[in-house]
Structure 1
């Protein structure tokens, strides 16, 4: 290897000695013209393919690198990347890093207006979809479900092509975590002299903390379940609300995991989506499967569900794919997690439409286990029991998430102890 450009022979000699010492200690970095994009896409991401990383984690890394990193710093030579470059990237993502909606993927107001008119004429969703496919060349894939969704959302909003919005500090810090891991490997592989991400300034951990989870009261939860009594998904929503399980854990439950006589269930697998494909996998190694106790109402609900599934299995015959899932589609296949969440949000919107004077606070499906934990803590259940049921690694995590619940409990404890001291 050779290098020129020195002003004096002494500078050249010093550089030669430093290079020889680095070579002897294994820290020599050969000068290369590999770009950030080439390193990340051609070298680093392939090295992290499963089993090095979970498939869902790898796809998350790949997406963030493709959408948020490469367009902005992908062309910089890897060995010239600096902390300033990363700081500029993080600032850009915070200010205007969100992708604009693609106008080609949005349906025009004319399609919406025509769909509403056809429905007003008494056509079914299927007939409406058929008419729209015939009238609009761009809507050849429209079906009854997308028509129902289109009408439910209302008139398409106009998108300002010049409007920009930023990513959350939590997302930008996640991008920093990925880059730091990639550059750490680049340092180990002698591709760079240092990890410049260590000297960069991403959003602080405090700014990236999750917001307080939104929950319902017990009365609101009962009202929603009563309103959604005819939904096929109701039993799964009830299970999430009474067990404290996460969405994927509930959808991954199989009948072999459930002991209805003992009133217990083992949470040991989860259903997730990787690159638009439904995947069933074991719970992460950091969260081992755990046993939870079920209440009598949930056990009774599961008994009814098992009977209904047995009838569906008989009706469908060989077409039923029996993989043993407790909560599944009519053919035995597991629910698509994202569609499962959308159905919950859609039913909440239906409730608000029918109860305009008593609408529910907007929560996501993840709000159901949060609601269980909040109700349990409010009822005075020991935080260690709540933490174990949620499968948190420590009560510290539970306290951090539910700080909005524990202060009133502490206040109540203060009053009770004070009454003993003062003799009240």
Structure 2
């Protein structure tokens, strides 16, 4: 291992009165009469001979202006320790010397021994300074051209709104899980402030947070997932000095899946009394769904779409983007290959994100009949529109042939539900209800999962199996019947049917 020569010295800016020459380390004021250094005069510095450049030129690291001899020695020892990481390999020592020289030129502190050792261990050029979190995240998204537009918008939103404002200035290799947790603490503090302002009696205070939304726990988990994905890429990359994914170690409260709740008679009565909605995800009973569909017949231009969602559980974008070319009424099948995605108010057509989402659903006779009725009405609209008809090829269109905007469909759904006097659910709640009714009717969970486009049957069963209370009641009575020694089938036959 090479011996790296260096020294510590003290000097000042005094000059000779006669010649004007700088005295430097020869100034008599630097020492006291007893020979000790005078702490009130001059500055400390160090000088270290560095390995020659790759072109063979001599060089050194030299700095003055330090407050104490101890500080100068510590800095010099630190630089020597960095050079010793080269282990006698000339190329590595030259690279480390380049790094030291660069930090001196920029008047910044040299990286720690642990950091340089980590860079060497991961094969990263020690001379390359790690980017900030902001620089890395922007480059990471830009380097993913094949991202779905919706996914890209989600990533960019998380980066712009949360990750860069809170973590953007931190160097990527110095990001810690504690800093990420601090970001989420700040987001929660903002949530509390918004809530307090909204509850204020002062109109100006309430107005100060108008339009501001609280960040839910599920959104926090998605923000962390975005950062975790980006850092996973950094850990895999040999060009980045990162070997720990800090986002994976950042703690967040668990986010349990929001299971649907059915609007039972007791819940409906409570809602009618004080407007209480007992859960974030609500579904109607089969009877309530029938009431809605009967009322929706008055709105013939959307009745078929709502019927398809209520029976087959299509997602809103899948129903809005369904073309006639993928719908075979004679065979009773529809191929789900496209969907209309809404970002803010902008829309675009894409394919379902997962392989499970690209599927074929079987249409029952009632649904086929509803779609045939709508197709005849759509043909009448086409004849009436004449040259103004937009030949979109979609199953569900407005009277001019253009496809529906997903937001408009949701608005019509809520309007019709209110007119029918039904408790509130979202249009996606109609999909939840279709899944729950299929399982309650005894359909195999694997079949339901495939028709809904879920990735696993476990997700379908775990989410929907016990939505309707009558299903759970039937199971409970069947279990009790075994203890009584009676026939479960006879007990089941006397159970209350789904309402």
Normalising by the smaller structure, the TM-score range is 0.7 to 0.9
More strand by share: 2
Give 1:60's match in structure 2, choosing from 144, 148, 154.
154
- Residue 159 (structure 1) aligned with residue 206 (structure 2): yes
Q: In structure 1, how many angstroms separate the alpha carbons of the residues matched to 2:154 and 2:247?
A: 22
Q: Give the alignment partner of residue 74 of structure 1, picking from 161, 168, 171.
A: 168
C-alpha offsets along residues 12-64 of structure 1, whole Å, 9 cap, x if unaligned?
344444858954862445452633222222x1121123x1x111100111111
Pair 1:197-2:246 in alignment: yes
Equivalent of 1:217 in 282, 285, 295: 285
Query: Could you say what secondary structure the match of 1:272 adopts?
Result: strand
For the structure 1 residues 342 and 184, does the alpha-carbon distance in structure 2 shift closer, same or farther, using more than 3 Å as the test? same
- Asked if 1:48 is matched to 2:97, the reply is no
Q: TM-score, normalised by structure 1?
A: 0.74
Tell me which residue corresponds to 1:230.
298
- SS of the residue corresponding to residue 159 of structure 1 reads helix
CA gap of 1:216–1:389, structure 2 versus 1, over 3 A, is: same
SS at match of 1:273: strand
CA 1:78–1:21: 2 relative to 1, 3 Å: closer
Distance in 1 separating the partners of 2:61 and 2:230: 28
Q: Deviations over 1:157-195 (max 9, x none)?
A: 993526987422211111111111112223315333333
Could you tell me how far 1:6 is from its partner in structure 2? 4.7
Q: Deviations over 1:324-365 (max 9, x none)?
A: 11111222222111221122123323333xxxxxxx232110
Higher RCO, 1 or 2 (CA under 8 Å, sep at least 6)?
A: 1
The answer for the alignment partner of 1:343 in structure 2 is 412
Contact 2:232 2:245 in 1 (8 A): no
8 A contact 1:268–1:290 mirrored in 2? yes
Q: Which has a greater percent of helix?
A: 1
State the TM-score, normalizing by the size of structure 2: 0.64
Superposition CA RMSD, Å: 3.4
**Distance of aligned partners of 1:200 and 1:94 in 2 relative to their CA distance in 1, 3 Å threshold:** farther
Question: What is residue 20 of structure 2 aligned with on the other side?
Answer: none
Number of the residue aligned with 1:39? 136
From the CA coordinates, give the structure whose radius of gyration is larger. Answer: 2
1:411 matched to 2:459: no
| 3-state SS, counterpart of residue 271 of structure 1 | strand
- Does the CA contact (< 8 Å) of 1:59 and 1:275 recur in 2? no
Structure 2: which 5+ runs fail to align?
1-52, 54-59, 63-74, 88-112, 196-202, 261-280, 492-499
- Post-superposition Cα deviations, 1:226-282, rounded to whole Å, max 9, x if no partner, equal 333322322211110011211111112111222222222222211112464321222
Alpha-carbon shift at residue 403 of structure 1 (Å): 4.3
Contact 1:94-1:172 within 8 A present in 2 as well: no
Structure 1 unmatched runs, 5+: 102-155, 353-359
